[in-house]
Amino acid sequence: MATMDFGGVMEEVVTREEMSLTRARSILKGEVVGILGYGPQGQGQGMNLKDNGIKVIIGQRKGGRGWQDAIQDGWVEGKNLFDNIADVVDRSTMIEYLLSDAGQKEQWPVVSAHLRQGQALCFSHGFSVVYREQTQVVPPPGVDVVLVAPKGAGRTVRANFLAGSGINSSFAVHQDATGHARERVIALGMAIGSGYLFPTTFENEVFSDLTGERGVLLGAIAGLMKAQYETLRAMGHTPSEAFNETVEEATQSLYPLMGKNGVDWMIASCSTTAQRGALDWSKRFEDAVRPVMSALYQSVRSGEETRRVLETCGAPDYRERLEAELDGWRNSEMWKAGATVRALRPENWAAPKSGVRQKSARGAKPSLQEKPAQKKNTAKQAKPGPKRKTANRPASRASQQKSASSRLSTAAKAGGKQKQGRKR
């Protein structure tokens, strides 16, 4: 492994120099990787493994969204796609257990009954093994138990791979039954599309991951944005101004530059007024948030967060309740305003989203683009002339996701060979 300086602390990492894709393929040559669950991580990792020449089979409940995604991605029922988890475990030498955390608890009796000596049981999250008293997931002694955890969403794992980049991942060995667990997991980590790997433990992975999701990566940032937006609205600012100053400028301008160059560069590149404000107020926010972060970490470590996950996400009506919660965000003034702001981005003037009509400056008839990427081939071009903004309706969710994926791919190309992203 390579030794590198992380802020004055020397750590070991595995790069593509220590584990090339050629070597990873050689190590995995005789393996059959069975992926249980075709959600975001199962889809991203499975497709990357297949494209890298690894033999992969998929286990997914038939009739759901994951099954339809697998069919659309080219997996063939009865050949490399199966709706019986036990069949996949029987056919595999390495099993990637990528069901939801609640799903892993539910399906563990089936999986454990079919595990055999010499197999590798692979996780992308330490949840089930660390909180075994809640999940009852206790692997038998004859199998390797390992972890590869991409630091990004499954869609990012795939998008970075297609862009010729990679995603940072952690890895761990919980149980080495064969004497080759470390070699197998590092090879698997590179084959799923990792740019580099850093060692961790199952415990450290799940503690940091659950804290991050509830904190800066999702929960805290969503709450902070909501608080600022509502403060600006209460003080008389319009929805468009409040959203632009809270979300749009951050996500479209500052955060990408911060991710590429660091927060010191970002602050130094701003106006002196912005510099002073950021430096003065960051300490106040740090002091205000630190107690909340500490309480969050203790809630994660104690198992309280996992207890809530298993109780709520395992409930029969969870999907309906989740949709109701998401509707609260989706239908709020803030995020409705956000949909309009996103539709007014310059790239959306040039390529109207599905269902968005746009009239040219010279009075041409409105056109309805089904697939913006085919515009040059399918849509007649208006004569050259000045363009003007139009009040586009918010793009459909599918169109927004496609646009987001496109921007992510562009950012990956601009950011070099290794990019960090986010999971789930």
What pLDDT digit, counting tens, does each position of 246-270 carry? 999 999 999 999 999 999 999 999 9
| Lowest model confidence (mean pLDDT) among 132-141, 339-348, 349-358 | 349-358
Alpha carbons within 13 angstroms on the beta-carbon side of residue 14 total 23
Return all residues near 347 (Cβ < 8 A) that are at least 6 apart.
403
Instruction: Output phi, psi for 81, to 5 deg.
Output: -135, 125
Q: Is residue 119 part of a domain?
A: yes
Q: Is residue 135 part of a domain?
A: yes
What pLDDT shows up at residue 407?
Answer: 41
- Could you read off the pLDDT of 158-216 as tens digits, one per residue? 999 999 999 999 999 999 999 999 999 999 999 999 999 999 999 999 999 999 999 99
- Structural domains of the chain, count: 1
Which CATH number do you get for residue 49?
3.40.50.720
Return all residues near 293 (Cβ < 8 A) that are at least 6 apart.
211, 215
What pLDDT shows up at residue 1?
Answer: 85
Evaluate whether 146 touches 120 at the Cβ level (below 8 Å): yes
How do 9-13 and 81-82 pair as beta strands?
unpaired
- Could you read off the pLDDT of 400-420 as tens digits, one per residue? 444 444 443 443 343 343 333
CA distance 417 to 379: 36
What pLDDT shows up at residue 349?
Answer: 82
**Rg for the chain, CA atoms, rounded:** 24
Burial class (CB in 10 A: 0-12, 13-18, 19+), 127: buried
**Looking at the whole model, is its pTM more than 0.85?**
no
What pLDDT shows up at residue 116?
Answer: 97
**Nearest CA among 159, 187, 192 for reference residue 20:** 187
Evaluate whether 60 touches 72 at the Cβ level (below 8 Å): no
- Could you read off the pLDDT of 323-332 as tens digits, one per residue? 999 999 999 9
Q: Is residue 68 part of a domain?
A: yes
Q: Under DSSP, is residue 239 helix (H, G, I), strand (E, B) or coil?
A: helix
Q: Is residue 21 part of a domain?
A: yes
Burial class (CB in 10 A: 0-12, 13-18, 19+), 176: middle
CA distance 233 to 239: 7
What pLDDT shows up at residue 368?
Answer: 30
Q: Is residue 345 part of a domain?
A: no
**Nearest CA among 159, 184, 238, 216 for reference residue 33:** 184
Instruction: Write out the H or E segment, with its range, that includes residue 144.
Output: strand 144-150
Dihedral sign, CA of 152, 308, 311, 106? positive
**Nearest CA among 34, 74, 81, 27 for reference residue 191:** 27
Q: Is residue 17 part of a domain?
A: yes
What pLDDT shows up at residue 355?
Answer: 43
Residue-number span of the structural domain to which 75 is assigned = 2-205
Per annotation, catalytic residue among 114, 125, 174, 180: 125
Residue with tokens 């071009």: 381
Reply yes or no on whether the pLDDT at 7 is more than 80: yes
Q: Under DSSP, is residue 124 helix (H, G, I), strand (E, B) or coil?
A: coil
Alpha carbons within 13 angstroms on the beta-carbon side of residue 351 total 15
pLDDT mean across residues, the chain? 86
Please give the C-alpha separations between residue 369 and each of 64, 96, 395, 405, in angstroms, as whole numbers.
29, 40, 12, 19
CA distance 318 to 334: 25
Reply yes or no on whether the pLDDT at 422 is more than 70: no
How do 144-150 and 167-175 pair as beta strands?
antiparallel
Evaluate whether 394 touches 330 at the Cβ level (below 8 Å): no
What pLDDT shows up at residue 410?
Answer: 42
Alpha carbons within 13 angstroms on the beta-carbon side of residue 190 total 22
Q: Is residue 117 part of a domain?
A: yes
- Could you read off the pLDDT of 41-99 as tens digits, one per residue? 999 999 999 999 999 999 999 988 999 999 999 999 999 999 999 999 999 999 999 99
Instruction: Write out the H or E segment, with its range, that includes residue 36.
Output: strand 33-36
pLDDT category at 351 given cuts 50, 70, 90 is low
What pLDDT shows up at residue 404?
Answer: 40
Q: Catalytic residue at 180?
A: no
**Helical pair 154-162 and 397-414, crossing angle rounded to 10 deg:** 50
Phi-psi region of 150 (alpha: psi -120 to 50; beta: other; left: phi over 0): beta
Reply yes or no on whether the pLDDT at 353 is more than 70: no
Q: Is residue 116 part of a domain?
A: yes
What pLDDT shows up at residue 219?
Answer: 96
pLDDT category at 391 given cuts 50, 70, 90 is very low
